[in-house]
Structure 1
Amino acid sequence: MEGGGGTTFSEIYQNSKKLLLRARDGLERLERLEFSSSNPVDSPELSFAVKKDISQIQSLCVEMDRLWRSISAKSQRDLWKRKVEQVVEESDSLKESLDKYFLRHQKRMMEAKERAELLGRANGDSAHVLRIFDEEAQAMQSARNSSMMLEEAYSKGVAILTKYADQRDRLKGAHRKALDVLNTVGLSNSVLKLIERRNRVDKWIKYTGMVVSVVVLYTFWRWAH
């Protein structure tokens, strides 16, 4: 079975397989250039060649899809159908990978352009950029100073509270000692009052004894005379 220009179905299929191998090899080289270093290298000529090969494969797939449908023998028709579908799947996969490569390339170009624009603005208005950096540095320094002041205030507060706690403990100790002294003084006063009362009783006993003795002596003296 022949296609356009007298080319057989088998020849068209073999050409598509060769183009698949060449396109896959070119795409792998593009990706190696892209990921081989921190600074990706682009190859417009190689990417254009891979894109051209994939386009030719897709054209051949359209031609082969028309040819296998015209095969009369079912077994041969099914065989070529599977082969053509395989080529279509591989070409679609290569096209998807190439599209992703172009998207990454476009993103790198946009980022490079933005960096260049930022660098240009920075070089054109360096005073403005320096003022922004200076303001940010001052803000960071102010935040650090505020943090240090808060830490210092916290440390002083802790020291004051600790001192108050120590004073409170000392006051409690003094209060307990004062109570002990007062209790001791109270006991001493009671003892003194008891002794004083005993002395008064002893005096009354002595004076009473003296009076009784005088009365007894006086009575005895009168009876003797």
Structure 2
Amino acid sequence: MEGGGSLSEIYQSARKLLLRARDGISKLERFESAAINSSSSSSSSSSSSSLGIGADSLEIAFSIKKDIAQIQSMCADMDRLWRSIASRGQHDLWRRKVEQVAAEVDFLKGSLDRLSLRQQKRMQEAKERAELIERANGESSHVLRIFDDEARAMQSARNSHMVLEEAYSTGVAILSKYSEQRERLKNAQRKALDILNTVGLSNRVLKLVERRHRVDKWIAYTGMITTVVVVYMFWRWTH
């Protein structure tokens, strides 16, 4: 089937990616909780791990973004495939399944966005505290460099996410155009068949009319000849 597999195969792959993305969100939430507890126990902590934005967190976040983009692309494929199912019961069943996957991936995307916003907010607050400390004793330049590096890493991850979203939007647009063109071709094919059927019926009707016209003409000629013969015989008999 189109889209890289059957509807059932795409659905199963999407469910596996959902589980992996959900597990990744749980890990990021645990990192965040640990970071909050660490920062509350040590107000002077300045390491990036205390913010929950270490290399592991960035790698997990980027992996989740890729999974979400792939699931959204699969949803576009499944949305196209379930609409072509002829059976009413199967049609409604797959529609609900695809809508559930789409709702789950939207929820995960929202959760990831909220985690990223909270991370950025903590980074900004920590950077502001470090700047205050630096102005007070001039010993926080190293801390600022750490936050600048982490900020650049987060920006790079956001840029990558934007590229993935743009690629997904382009793919969805292409699939939508392809589906529209296919429907137009089907409509044109149906109209052509209707026209051919109409033309075939019209030809049969014309042939019947022509045949009836010939029969009527022979009947008229026969009647005229018969009338002339009868009149001639009557005239001979009377004379």
TM-score, length-normalised on structure 2?
0.49
Alignment check: 8 A CA contact 1:17 1:87 kept = yes
Counterpart in the other structure of 2:167: none
Q: Select which of 17, 20, 38 maps to 1:19.
A: 17
Structure 1 residue 9 displacement after superposition: 0.8
- The separation in 1 between residues aligned to 2:8 and 2:128, in whole angstroms, is 51
Counterpart in the other structure of 1:172: none
Alignment check: 8 A CA contact 2:78 2:98 kept = yes
Q: Select which of 7, 12, 22 maps to 1:9.
A: 7
Structure 1 residue 40 displacement after superposition: 3.7
Does 2:56 correspond to 1:45? Answer: no
Matched AA of 2:63: A
Counterpart in the other structure of 2:99: 85
Pairing of 1:148-187 with structure 2 (within 5 A)? none
Quote the RMSD (CA, aligned, Å): 1.2
Q: Select which of 13, 27, 30 maps to 1:29.
A: 27
Counterpart in the other structure of 1:107: 121
Alignment check: 8 A CA contact 2:24 2:61 kept = yes
3-state secondary structure, aligned to 1:110: helix
- The separation in 2 between residues aligned to 1:95 and 1:77, in whole angstroms, is 27
Q: After superposition, what is the alpha-carbon deviation per residue over 1:114-167, rounded to whole angstroms, capped at 9, x for unaligned?
A: 11111111125xxxxxxxxxxxxxxxxxxxxxxxxxxxxxxxxxxxxxxxxxxx
The list of structure 1 runs, each at least 4 consecutive aligned residues, that deviate by more than 4 angstroms after superposition, is none
- The separation in 1 between residues aligned to 2:3 and 2:77, in whole angstroms, is 8
Larger radius of gyration: 1
Structure 1 residue 62 displacement after superposition: 0.8
Q: After superposition, what is the alpha-carbon deviation per residue over 1:159-211, rounded to whole angstroms, capped at 9, x for unaligned?
A: xxxxxxxxxxxxxxxxxxxxxxxxxxxxxxxxxxxxxxxxxxxxxxxxxxxxx
Does 2:82 correspond to 1:68? Answer: yes
Structure 1 residue 112 displacement after superposition: 1.4
- The separation in 2 between residues aligned to 1:58 and 1:35, in whole angstroms, is 29
Structure 1 residue 101 displacement after superposition: 0.3
- The separation in 2 between residues aligned to 1:22 and 1:93, in whole angstroms, is 14
3-state secondary structure, aligned to 1:64: helix
Unaligned runs of 5+ in 2: 39-49, 139-239
Structure 1 residue 3 displacement after superposition: 2.6
Counterpart in the other structure of 1:54: 68
TM-score, length-normalised on structure 1?
0.52
Unaligned runs of 5+ in 1: 125-225
Q: After superposition, what is the alpha-carbon deviation per residue over 1:28-47, rounded to whole angstroms, capped at 9, x for unaligned?
A: 01101110232342210011
Matched AA of 1:100: R
3-state secondary structure, aligned to 1:4: coil
Aligned positions, number: 122
Alignment check: 8 A CA contact 1:12 1:64 kept = yes
- The separation in 2 between residues aligned to 1:97 and 1:45, in whole angstroms, is 16
3-state secondary structure, aligned to 1:25: helix
Higher relative contact order (CA 8 A, sep 6+): 2
Alignment check: 8 A CA contact 2:51 2:119 kept = no
Alignment check: 8 A CA contact 2:51 2:123 kept = no
Alignment check: 8 A CA contact 2:18 2:71 kept = yes
Structure 1 residue 91 displacement after superposition: 0.4
